[in-house]
Structure 1
Amino acid sequence: MRDIGYSAGGQVVLAATDVGLFRSIEGGLGSAWQLKDVQLDHDPQEFWSLGRVGGQVWVATSIDLPNQVGSVVGRVWRSTDDGASWAQITNFTPVADVTDVRRMTVAVSPSDSANPNSARVYLLAENRDETAQKDVFRSDDGGQSWSALGVNSTGVPVNRNDDQSNLDVMHDQAFYNQMIAVDPQNHDRVLVGGNLCLVRSLDGGSTWAIMAHWLPGTVTVNGAPAAMPPDTYVHADYHAAAISYATTSLVFYAGTDGGMFRSTDVFTAAPGDAHFEDRMNRGIVTHLIYSVASANERADTAACHVPAATLDVVYGGFQDDGTRLRVLPADGDPTVFNQIVGGDGFGVGMGCASAGGQVGSLLINTFPSELARSLDGGGTFSLAMTGIGFALDPGFTFFMKVAQDVTDTNGKTFLTPLTQAGAQIGHVFRTTDGAASWTSINGTIHCADSPGCFTTASAVPSPLRNVAAHPKSAGRYAVVSTSRAYVTADAGLNWDETVRVYPDSVSGACAQPSSIAFDPNDPAGNTVWVASKATRTSNSCTGGGQPISAAVGHLFKSTNAQALLSSRWTAVHGSGATALPNVPINVVKVDPGDSQTIYVGTEIGLYRSIDGGASWARYGTGLPLVSVTDLSVALDGSLVRISTFGRGFWEIYAKPGGSPAGVLGNGDFNFDQVIDGIDLVREAALLLTTNADADYNAVGNLAGTTNAIDETDLTALVAKLGGRP
């Protein structure tokens, strides 16, 4: 889901998604959503943004599929009948710009909604090659024609600096950070956010000023220090915006990689002197997290100790908020996650730095196409790329994955899947010395039927996505490429290729795997699970094609993964009311102690099966509909921790009494920003529950040091009655 909007009466709802534009005429309720075929040639479109101009007039943007750099263009669409039909708009000035755009974001002017055919509309666009900001386009006829404003590298802000010397605020991340907003009461007042800065126009896009900066204290002009005021700080990478007059005065909200930021003078302050604050983030967990690792994933050994005090240590990589470690001091404070590395954090691993050491003394993390390690529990990190002797393809190693081999009693064995730049072939690297050095373990690839695969080859013939180690059988590893799985039973000396991951072995379609996991009860490593986060399937395995049907789904199992051409995949999503939703799956894990218990982290939450995949249900209460990016399952299956993209870390215990408490709740069960009788009734109903109970809800855990709701929590809630949460 990219964007959503509704008609004046609320009955028509439009949803922009990566598989097309959907329309409901029932207020979004029920199952009568219709996928709109907007293109006369029936080419599939990935919709990004939409806006209701006024009346029944809408403007929307899409890009062509398949989604391949340089081969697609962005498109602008207009509807005059509340989205029932659409016409492509190609009236651009300059004319050539219509073929040099890709992702675009729409911003409409609510003050013009009464006259949609003369309404002001803006488009923020990246260029076709995804290398820069193309421009901001303006329409004064409700989206029927568009003119470029020169808001790109050719324009200059009135208060330029060395970080933002021109008006290309999105730079080469235009595919990722796009934000544009219009003052609802004045269509000449516009804001555009990119990766580092926010710029403002008060005259409909003619002139612009920098109003916010990620690092205002370090700003220079022509090399000389020229710090912006500290209140102009807003975290990098803008994604969303809202402007409200609910309190009669204007309030601007920006959603970035660092949470929400608010300003009341962004349109009235002098250039470069707006005031922003982020207090509303307190109590709202919005971290974007890619990975999670816990100390309790491995057994306590003489060479790598896992004392009880370390079982609740949690480690994860954050989008633009560093790699963070939860360290429990003597008195216990599980709400603190120390940022031990800055920037982007992706894959993580946890082990022991020396013989007889404690788990967590060795920490591994990844940056874009780089690995690093710490030998002092996160005190210092150093680059850990020794042995990797080729350039990496950032398209596949930007989000570098790491898997730990818990069968290594020394706590020093880890794996990472790499893709070589240029050749786009896959290599599996392993370290057995805590990332002091890495060695390719590709060995010999035994082919099934993939093009370009030769049994004498020592590289996978396509890019690699993810890797896993068997939790009980040493030397058994598995990786997934863009179409297949590869399994080794001898620590990489030989790899067996499977047929394409797809339940139909003859059509040639594939599901583009995202994650792989072993069945712990199959010591031979023939039984593996593979998840897919694709939304479309095609024979090319690179994107595009038809939406993945419910019959195919996103989770697959093979019981003969080492059978080469005879290997087969079965869709495992259940049926009926207990079926797994047909949504992308980021990660699959199997309980190390119970092969019938499978967890999948989907785009809408965590799902669990306790019968080997025959039936599924959302696991645990209180977890939002959020993308689950990674899973950590305790060695004894008693604890599951997850990382989410937008709502932080979550954990659920199977043991009674509760673990050390996470972030305390605020008592606002219905999220209406008032503590009232409804919240009191809910609290009373949950008395004496812990996080081992199915109906436990952390919102009611206001006090104490364990995940439990008791008399102290009820007392704390009563004290807040009538007030803000």
Structure 2
Amino acid sequence: MKEPNDWFMMQRVGPDGTLNMDAVREARQQAMFLRNQPSELDEVWEFEGPTNIGGRITGMAVHPSQPNTFYAAGAIGGVFKSIDDGHTFEPIFDEDFAQSGGAIAIDPVDPNKIWYASGEANSSGDSYPGNGIYLSTNAGETWEHKGLPESYHIGRIVIDPTDSDRIFVAVMGKLFGTNPDRGVYRTLNGGDDWEQVLFINDTTGCIDIEINPNFPDSVFAVMWQRYRNPAERSVSGPNSGLWRSIDGGDNWDRLTNGLPTGDNVGRGSLAIAPTSPDFLVLTHTDHPGYFIGGWKTDDGGDSWEDMDGLDPYGHDIYNSFGWYFGESIIEPSAMNTIYIGGLYMYKSTTLGDTWEQVFDWCHVDHHAFNINPNDPAKIISGHDGGVNVSYDRGDHSTRFSSLAATQFYAITHDPSIPHRLYGGTQDNGTMRTTDGSIDNWDYLYGGDGFYCLVDPRDSDVIYICMQWGGIRRTLDGGNNWDSIGWDMSGDRTNWMTPYIFDPHNYDRLYYGTYRVWGTTNRGNSWNDISPDLTDGDDPGGLTYGTITSLSASPVEPGLILVGTDDANVWYTDDFGGDWTRIDQELPDIWVSRVATHPDSANVFFVALSGHRISEPQPHLYRSDDYGQTWHAIVGETPETMLPDGPINDVIIDPDDTALIYVATDFGVFASMDYGQSWGELGEGLPMSAVFDIDFIASQRRLIAGTHGRSMYSIGLGELEVEKSPRELPVSERMFLTSYPNPFNGTSTIRMSVPVAQSVDVQVFDLLGRQVAVISQNQRIPAGISEWSWTAQTDAGISLASGTYIVVATTDSQQISRRVQLVK
């Protein structure tokens, strides 16, 4: 049985188990403020991929008259739009941090009106709360916030087909805790005002809505009672069930004739037949999430009968975590054809009497479907691996390989071959690119992927980790894998279990459970080198009683720094012989990352997760005396302060230790003065949570693993021996950027030089062959110069999709920038 993994939310809520949305909004506002400020750190982020892996899709809407145009809502990636039947996708919701997608709908009368509800409702371990509902009136070019800021999580949007100003929204409310802002909401004036028209109690929300297209005053709402606090969780309750209104939402009655009732009724999924709307189908789960049955009605909901065949293979179609699924759909032209999504997708062509599995060889976990009303054989499915399309009612399907929506938990690179990037992801395993391309990443290992390491001495020696600490090692580049964690089996482990190399001996690794384990033979055997460094197991509480982060000093052998989910920080300076606790001056908040200083053994850094309850709460600290005293380093003025929210990673630049980089739920920020002031790092990084960053020393590049928009990198510039970048004004530096990147058509190349000089600008492929000359011995003035490149050779031949290198050469230096051509 798979329980709701609360790892993501447990580290972000307060000690009372609730999430302070005011604190979340204020942190978002500060991030937006920093994003809009000029910065000396003005390099441009470059997309690294993957596009061929995808990520969780939670909503789907297809243009009613242009079926090749559709919109997909990402779990934490915002809104993606395709106008070529999924061959390419463009992110179109980057103006706001409400990236968690709950639902999306197109106005049936004016398809330029797109409604987007933020806040995924699937109760997954990484479901960010949203900020309400948004409207675009120009097919996604711009967006306007249209209310419901306290909705947290939204399951569905339905629009009256006869009156586009009347819209119903299924609001689930808080995932952690209770709140009254849940149930069914209705607007009669296009979102200017909203009314809560169905409310049961502060633990019961609405997860699904359907409207009768022939009689739009007939509205059906699936209510779901769920509750989570530090001591208990429940995904069912007596108020879960189906409700109906026949007067447009003014009054509601519960439908029970033939339907389940009682404490053990959980999430439901509803579908209505467009051409015969008296026919509906309904499924339900229980607590903890098993499938309990499916029902159908042919009289508009007055009476229901079992669909006994909806368990075609004798197992649970939701695989014990039905709180994660909620999509059913009936073919527009044939009500006998029904599709229901769960771990797999199922189809019935017999009004629910018999079922078969469809969309074979497709990624599991189906969340969002659409059937083309003019071509019902065409079905689009959104799942944990992106989007698949079938042109034969699910018998065969093809996955679109152009969706940059991968949800990275952790990332790294191969120090010997730095363009080889690695990452562990949500439900897409551990993956890598071997040649630096964005569209040919390949899987190394399955499950959920987390931290991964590559031995700097041998690129064939790779370590990966799955959920709850399942560590594996390969000695042949990934062809064969060995489990090397048997010695630690039985220990409490974190969902994202940390392990690291010893920087002085790469045969030595450290692994954190509730205690620290060490190996000196690359994992063949392990020994525990610490006592329990946590406060112990806390069943039902907000911590696991586990280690969350490890760091080994590159200066002093044997010095290891440890952080835990219950706010403990320890260190040892003798390989674990003795341990000292050093968190007495730190807040009682989940430790997300610890870091040792590149040059000074006595300097430690601690990053914290969590949102404040009331007063502002620093999330980044430094100690200069082995942890005896701590100093908040989040900025000294309101204009230069870090967002007051979760920090997921921290890196100190080894070439200039006054430079600090942090990954947060709101992007990547940098300080050039040891934490006294902060600004957004670079330009062009999507508004997405960044869970992990990694420093590529040989290239002076930083890579960022977003949790919903794949991976990006940024050049940090060459450092002069006598003068660091923080001492060098922007006016004295030389920069080379390209925009957009990736691009499809024309790329604008910009170069900034401090004084007038001659420059050559050329384009090379990855084999080092020159493919184009953009500028040759051209005299350019001080400041910014621009060129447009149309992805053609000098002979006018169009180039194929791929990675190219733009190189600018002056009398004094040469700089380069990678660009990605995507067709």
TM superposition score normalised by structure 2: 0.59
Which aligned pairs between 1:53-452 and structure 2 lie closer than 5 A? 53=211, 61=224, 63-66=226-229, 71-73=234-236, 75=240, 91=256, 93-96=258-261, 98-102=262-266, 104=267, 106-109=269-272, 111=274, 124-130=283-289, 132-136=290-294, 149=306, 155-157=310-312, 165-166=313-314, 168-176=316-324, 179-183=327-331, 189-195=337-343, 197-213=344-360, 233-245=361-373, 248=375, 250-266=377-393, 274-278=395-399, 280-281=400-401, 283-296=402-415, 306=416, 310-319=417-426, 321-327=428-434, 336-351=440-455, 358-368=457-467, 369-385=469-485, 387-388=487-488, 390-393=489-492, 396-405=493-502, 407-408=503-504, 410-418=505-513, 426-443=514-531
SS across alignment from 1:387: helix
Could you list the per-position Cα deviations for residues 151-171 of structure 1 after superposition, in whole angstroms to 9, with x for gaps in the alignment? 7xx8442xxxxxxx2262221
Query: In the alignment, which of 570, 574, 579 is matched to residue 487 of structure 1?
Result: 570
Amino acid at match of 2:498: K
Unaligned ranges ≥5, structure 2:
1-99, 121-126, 137-142, 152-179, 183-198, 719-733, 754-761, 775-788, 802-821
The 2-side partners of 1:708 and 1:575 are apart by 49
SS across alignment from 2:507: coil
2:716 is matched with which residue? Answer: 654
Shift of 1:471: 4.3
Amino acid at match of 2:227: D
Q: Tell me: CA distance 1:139–1:472, structure 2 relative to 1, closer, same or farther (3 Å).
A: farther
Q: Tell me: CA distance 1:585–1:526, structure 2 relative to 1, closer, same or farther (3 Å).
A: closer
SS across alignment from 2:274: helix
Shift of 1:560: 7.7
The 1-side partners of 2:567 and 2:351 are apart by 51
Amino acid at match of 2:150: L
Amino acid at match of 2:452: V
The 2-side partners of 1:101 and 1:473 are apart by 57
Q: Which has the higher strand share?
A: 2
The 2-side partners of 1:290 and 1:100 are apart by 34
1:38 is matched with which residue? Answer: 181
TM superposition score normalised by structure 1: 0.66
SS across alignment from 2:790: helix
Shift of 1:209: 1.7
Larger mean CA deviation between 427-436 and 67-76 belongs to 67-76
Could you list the per-position Cα deviations for residues 691-723 of structure 1 after superposition, in whole angstroms to 9, with x for gaps in the alignment? xxxxxxxxx9996668999757524398779x9
2:608, 2:646 within 8 Å by CA — same for their partners in 1? no
Q: Tell me: CA distance 1:430–1:125, structure 2 relative to 1, closer, same or farther (3 Å).
A: farther
Could you list the per-position Cα deviations for residues 493-532 of structure 1 after superposition, in whole angstroms to 9, with x for gaps in the alignment? 33344559975xxxxxx54343333454652244422334
Amino acid at match of 1:347: Y
Amino acid at match of 1:362: V
Amino acid at match of 1:644: T
The 1-side partners of 2:769 and 2:642 are apart by 29
Identity across matched positions, percent? 18
The 1-side partners of 2:201 and 2:453 are apart by 45
The 1-side partners of 2:257 and 2:669 are apart by 47
1:313, 1:327 within 8 Å by CA — same for their partners in 2? yes
Amino acid at match of 1:133: F
1:515 is matched with which residue? Answer: 593
The 1-side partners of 2:440 and 2:135 are apart by 45
Shift of 1:108: 4.8
The 1-side partners of 2:263 and 2:426 are apart by 32
1:487, 1:561 within 8 Å by CA — same for their partners in 2? no
2:49 is matched with which residue? Answer: none
Shift of 1:441: 1.8
RMSD (CA atoms): 5.1
Shift of 1:337: 4.1
Amino acid at match of 1:415: Y
The 2-side partners of 1:626 and 1:633 are apart by 19
SS across alignment from 2:705: strand
Shift of 1:90: 8.4
SS across alignment from 1:378: coil
The 2-side partners of 1:500 and 1:181 are apart by 55
The 2-side partners of 1:376 and 1:487 are apart by 36
Q: Tell me: CA distance 1:413–1:121, structure 2 relative to 1, closer, same or farther (3 Å).
A: farther
The 2-side partners of 1:440 and 1:719 are apart by 62
Structure number with greater CO (CA < 8 Å, separation at least 6) is 2
Shift of 1:579: 5.2
1:518, 1:528 within 8 Å by CA — same for their partners in 2? no
Shift of 1:198: 1.8
Which aligned pairs between 1:555-704 and structure 2 lie closer than 5 A? 555-557=619-621, 559=623, 570=632, 572=634, 580-581=642-643, 584-603=646-665, 605-613=667-675, 615-635=677-697, 638-655=700-717, 667-668=743-744, 680=746, 683=747, 685-686=748-749
1:444, 1:495 within 8 Å by CA — same for their partners in 2? no
SS across alignment from 1:380: coil
Shift of 1:341: 3.9
Shift of 1:3: 0.6
The 1-side partners of 2:593 and 2:206 are apart by 26
Could you list the per-position Cα deviations for residues 81-122 of structure 1 after superposition, in whole angstroms to 9, with x for gaps in the alignment? 9999998968585444x52244x364554838xx9xx77665
Shift of 1:35: 0.9
Amino acid at match of 1:628: V
Q: Tell me: CA distance 1:386–1:258, structure 2 relative to 1, closer, same or farther (3 Å).
A: same
Amino acid at match of 1:649: M
2:268, 2:285 within 8 Å by CA — same for their partners in 1? no
Unaligned ranges ≥5, structure 1:
158-164, 214-232, 268-273, 297-305, 353-357, 419-425, 454-459, 504-509, 538-547, 669-678, 691-699
Amino acid at match of 1:295: D
Amino acid at match of 1:191: Y
Could you list the per-position Cα deviations for residues 544-569 of structure 1 after superposition, in whole angstroms to 9, with x for gaps in the alignment? xxxx45854683325389668xx768
Shift of 1:262: 0.8
SS across alignment from 1:291: strand
Shift of 1:19: 7.3
